[in-house]
A and B are shown apart, each in its own frame.
Chain A
Amino acid sequence: MNTNLIFLIILGGLIGASSGYLGSFMVLKRMSLVGDALSHVALPGIAIALILGINPMLGAILALTLAIVGIWYLGEKSQIYPEALVGIFFTGSLAIGILLTPEPEMFEALFGNIDKITNLDGLIIILGTVIIFVLTKLISKKLMLGIVSEDLAKSQKINISKVNLTYLLLVGLVVTLGVKFLGTLLTGALVIIPAVTARNISKSIKSFHILSVVFGIIAATFGILIAKILGIPSGPIVVLVGIFLFLFSFLLRSK
């Protein structure tokens, strides 16, 4: 095993861990579909970055931040959660992104390419992971109380809408970190699948968070390793490893 592969596996593990941790809240907030589809929004950002010749991660995070503020605003202002609008908005971004993405980079933008990970990307991923864990931990109690009952949280003077926005922006960050590994179509899956898997077998919030992180790490690291050995794109394999874990957890649960 060469050092480059070890480097990639460690970075993948970090992305898996932060995706799993953030995903555990996403699943409880009943926003799985949003979390999954959110990554599609990154594509037009990546496309524009590729055209301009700048780091695709920068394009991704700008597009995601814009989309997240939009979703957050709709969620705050309308009584019903605008699920349908989210569906239209996300597939719309995907369509525009596909038209904009230069042909040679299309496959890579959609499904990721770990051979293109630079040292700078590595540094961004490490920093991003630290930011995600620290900030999420800081807002975790408020986030949790908001999941149980928004009224209860607000009655304690917690600014739920600020907490929600912070949380969603962190999800945007994790999707950005994962985009080179898994591509825009599949990074969202790494946020959702490990968390859903963990929920199947968790009996407390603590074990739920820990297992989400562990499953995220396993899916990402094993997926990358297998992809490298077989010489195929990492995104699909990471997702398939995640789904394999999910099926296993499902069997354990129904016992």
Chain B
Amino acid sequence: MAEYITLAVDGLQALLDELKRREYRVLGPTIRDQAIVYDDIESLRDLPMGWTDEQSGGHYRLVARQDDAIFGYPVGPHSWKRFLHPPVLPLWQAESAGNSVRITTTQGPDQPFAFIGVRSCDLHAIAIQDRVLIGGQHVDPSYRDRRKGAFIVAVNCGEAGGTCFCASMNTGPKVEDGFDLALTEIVIDDQRLFLTEVGSPAGRDVLLQVPHRPATPDEIAAADGVTARTAASMGRVMRSDDVRELLLGNLDHPRWDEVAERCLTCGNCTMVCPTCFCTSVEDSSDLLSGKSGRTRHWASCFTLDFSYIHGGSVRGSARSRYRQWMTHKLASWVDQFGSSGCVGCGRCITWCPVGIDITEEVRAIREDRPAERTHHED
């Protein structure tokens, strides 16, 4: 039986204070450069109260709301992988020390993370990266150290964004597990409240230090109404039950050529995707300090380096690179990791500079299958 309590707005501030007192690095949504990004949060004032955003393919605009909602926006350009799986990570440094070489490896973060405002799609994305990066035989020690002890304050989405399709991917909008606390922002009698579900002993322990009261049945019902409305207002829809078979059965579909004409191979989709996990390492040697080092950074299957082997790049064309990304995300990911690699957050649609829409690409292939075409183009 789920445990529900209610926080008022000052209770939310007390929660942030308590997390800071426990020496978490508190990260959450804040406005920077006309977007809602994730960054360090000092107090409620840093949160995007009264703001939302408008999103469609290749389009994002920060918009003022008519109310004071604190979490009244869908997901923005950043995902939590910035912190759990950082874009640039020094792995080790080596320097000469007399006749030997001294190697210093990078330590984990000084403080555990507390994430404020994690949406259901992103909880699923974190669960996917957990499976990929620490769930198998080969554990990524950096991810393990960053993930360990992370405190997650989830938020049930109050409205769906223009490119959201979590309902299609069965990844939201209502959070199910993988959180310490889950908030639903509700307004009852003109009072802004946060119906809070306790998801872990750590969550309960933190709440003991935060002013709260048991939730009323009305509040619970109001919160259920919020997620039901969100589920019914998804900006995008994608039939996902047969998408693996659909894509793997259409590897020579002419649509791949069509999307390649629009694709910039810039890599934005892979960088904003909360599950894309590929990295590459580069070695450096510094003339001034005499130190050498190895740095890991996010890689993208849209670059030529990604598939470079002796003699050249395996995936030279935009067609082969887009197809690799999309078939991996929606199809071969299932064989590899036991679930789809897509959580329906819509970031790849919004942040594609030319608005390529993964749901539209699936639809185009679905609606024009080889058997239904008069001739087969390759």
- Are A and B associated in one complex? no
Tell me the B residues contacting A by CB distance below 8 Å. Answer: none
Tell me the A residues contacting B by CB distance below 8 Å. Answer: none
